[in-house]
A and B are shown apart, each in its own frame.
Chain A
Amino acid sequence: MNQPVNPADIHKVIIEQQKARNRKKMMVNGVLFLLLLAAPFMMYPVFLMKILCFALFAVAFNLLFGFAGLLSFGHAAFLAAGGYTTGYLLSNFAGLSTELGILAGTATATVLGLAFALLSIRRQGIYFAMVTLALAQLVFFFFVQAEFTGGEDGMHGIPRGHLLGLINLEDNLNMYYFVLAVFIGCYLLVQRIVSSPYGQVLKAIKQNEPRAVSLGYNVDRYKVLAFVISSALAGLAGSMKSVVFQLASLNDAHWHMSGEVILMTLLGGMGTLLGPVIGATFVVNVEYQLSQGPLRDWVDPILGGIFVLTVLAFRSGVVGEIQKLVDRNFK
């Protein structure tokens, strides 16, 4: 067993392994992509779109929580800001093409995100979570009272309109492929960000902030940028959701929504790319299935149970645990 090994061989093996892993990853992604393309013919498209919107929301949240280590307890504010802005513009300016409405919603969430970031970024740990929660509560109360949101009644009958003034989004299939395209675009963007040098610095900050500071990084600036990107994507998710469902409501702004996105991310696997997507799919499905069946009165306690189980038994989430399992057995 103890034969001398040529270091070059080891290197080669590692590279081979990496290549094999990348091939596998490509294959998995390819299969997923085909599945997503075919999905609306097998399942009800609006439900799929709901999953995609929440998946994007969770992906956005995970960029901040999973990769930069910042637990925001106020992400609902961005989801709602995006949704309300898009809804308001599309309802009140007939002829506005849908993508512009969505862009405007995203922009609003981005600006709001920047404000949140500047006010909160220097707070550490639990204080950070609490400041974001407080700010989100302020936004919530604003939406409750503002006339244009319709308060408790919510904003209804938002027209889906036409994409680029051409493609009719009233059609569920068209709408679905549009949402899918946006989702994949954002997913790839996040993938890109995470593996970029910038993403590496974020991870370094997450692991050991003082060290990152001593290495000369302007930590705050990195964090603010992560926060802004995350809130922009969360706003985009909210904007699309309001177009898909043709409504925006206070639920999106409530602090329970901020809690729910944490659950999705944690359950799927924080700090992994696919994790939030799986978590969101699971949670949206559980909520839907339960609300139909004999257990429909028990949605909240069951969600709570999932929360408890996740924290106790598999903190790394579904994807994280699978990765661990793979690492343990196939290395």
Chain B
Amino acid sequence: MTMIFGVPLAVLSGQLLIGIINGAFYALLSLGLAVIFGLLKIINFAHGAMYMLGALVTVVLFDLMGVNYWVALFLAPLLVGAFGVLIEYFLLRRIAGQDHIYSLLLTFGVALIIQGVLTNIYGVSGLRYAMPDMFKGGINLGFMFLPYYRAWVIVVAMLVCFGTWFIIEKTKLGSYLRAGTEDSQLMQGFGINVPLLVSLTYGFGVMLSALAGVLAAPIYSVTPVMGSNILIVVFAVVVIGGMGSIGGAIITGILMGVVEGLTKTFYPPASSAVIFLVMVMVLMIRPTGLFGKEA
């Protein structure tokens, strides 16, 4: 067997693939954060909670009304997105124009509330969500057994990431968005409802996070605190990519998934720290991240 640094090539290929799959999750989550920060300058510390809500809503919809996975894939992000719009409308709007730090603190508070309340209702040992039947099983790739569901995760995440990037960077709607948030008075003058645009943008960012939650529901244990730890990691990813850079968030997400996966193979104890290490090093060399523009 071919060995690379004492690790069989087959194992290594498997780890790379796993890294890309996890990277797809990071990409989806950090994309939402980057949209919200890049366009609205809001530091959304409630992002992890929204991811959790996406997963939890999926489970609850199924338990209460038997809503199946395919419907939940659309319905859950919509519901959570609507909830995001409410948060923007009732809370975040009131601190528009203040230092970014306040949006961080406000959303941190919101996250504590959501997590705390749901912990009291659902406990923390994890809710069950059965894998949809058509995704049961997997395919033997020779170097590893790839569950169908993980393959599906990559496909969905990549499609959504690319679509979002395309809309924001390449279409007219995207240019309105960017212009509207950069010079709101001017756009208001053109007859565009900027406050609505802001609410919808926040809602959209939240939806992306919730979608990641739905994708996670069948494979991770769904608990009200599942977003708390991943939040910090995803923030690190966004910072490495350059806060606000849409493309940067996507690429860095996948990259970090791979870096983490390789660390888990070669030196597991460092795997939870490695992303923060990369972040510190990147910021030493490039103060605004890999793909960041402004200082």
Contact = CB atoms under 8 A, between A and B. Distances in A.
Interface of A: 71, 119, 122-127, 129-131, 133-135, 137-138, 141-142, 145, 255, 259, 262-263, 266, 297-308, 310-312, 315
B113 A71 contact: no
A129 B100 CA distance: 11
B112 interface: yes
B104 interface: yes
B116 A301 contact: yes
A137 B276 contact: yes
Interface string B92-124: 001100101110111011111111110110000
B95 A312 contact: yes
Contacts of A131: 279-280, 283
B109 A127 contact: no
B112 A304 contact: yes
A262 B272 contact: no
A88 B119 CA distance: 35
Interface string B228-249: 0000100110010001000000
26 contacts: A123-B287, A124-B287, A124-B295, A127-B239, A127-B283, A127-B288, A130-B239, A130-B283, A134-B239, A135-B276, A135-B280, A141-B272, A141-B273, A301-B113, A304-B108, A304-B112, A304-B115, A305-B109, A305-B113, A308-B91, A308-B106, A308-B113, A311-B95, A311-B105, A312-B94, A312-B95
Contacts of A119: 280, 284
Nearest to A303: B112
B283 A123 contact: yes
B269 interface: yes
A311 B106 contact: yes
B186 to A, nearest CB: 25
A261 to B, nearest CB: 12
B91 A133 contact: no
Interface of B: 43, 91, 94-95, 98, 100-102, 104-106, 108-117, 119-120, 232, 235-236, 239, 243, 269-270, 272-273, 276-277, 279-280, 283-284, 287-288, 295
Contacts of A134: 236, 239, 276, 279-280
Given A298-B116, A304-B114, 20 more contacts: A124-B287, A126-B100, A126-B104, A133-B235, A134-B236, A134-B279, A138-B273, A145-B269, A255-B232, A259-B108, A299-B116, A301-B113, A304-B113, A304-B115, A305-B113, A307-B109, A308-B113, A311-B102, A311-B109, A315-B102
A300 B116 contact: yes
Given A127-B287, A311-B102, A304 B110 contact: yes
A266 B203 CA distance: 28
Contacts of A255: 232
A250 to B, nearest CB: 13
A310 B105 CA distance: 9
Contacts of A133: 232, 235
A126 B109 contact: no
Nearest to B102: A311
B34 to A, nearest CB: 13
A145 B271 CA distance: 12
Given A131-B280, A301-B116, A308 B272 contact: no
Contacts of B277: 138
A310 B106 CA distance: 9
Nearest to B105: A311
B56 to A, nearest CB: 16
Contacts of A301: 112-113, 115-117, 120
B260 to A, nearest CB: 13
Contacts of A300: 112-113, 115-116, 119
Nearest to B103: A311
Contacts of B105: 262-263, 266, 307, 310-311
Contacts of B284: 119
Nearest to B94: A312
B2 to A, nearest CB: 32
B287 to A, nearest CB: 6
B112 A307 contact: yes
A138 B279 CA distance: 11
Contacts of A303: 109, 112
A70 to B, nearest CB: 11
A256 to B, nearest CB: 9
A126 B43 CA distance: 9
Nearest to A305: B113
A126 B243 contact: yes
A138 B283 contact: no
Contacts of A135: 276, 280
Contacts of A142: 273
Contacts of B113: 300-301, 304-305, 308
A330 to B, nearest CB: 28
Contact of B101 (A129, A145, A297): A129
A178 B220 CA distance: 49
Contacts of A305: 109, 113
Nearest to A255: B232
A137 B236 CA distance: 11
A302 B240 CA distance: 33
Contacts of A138: 273, 276-277, 280
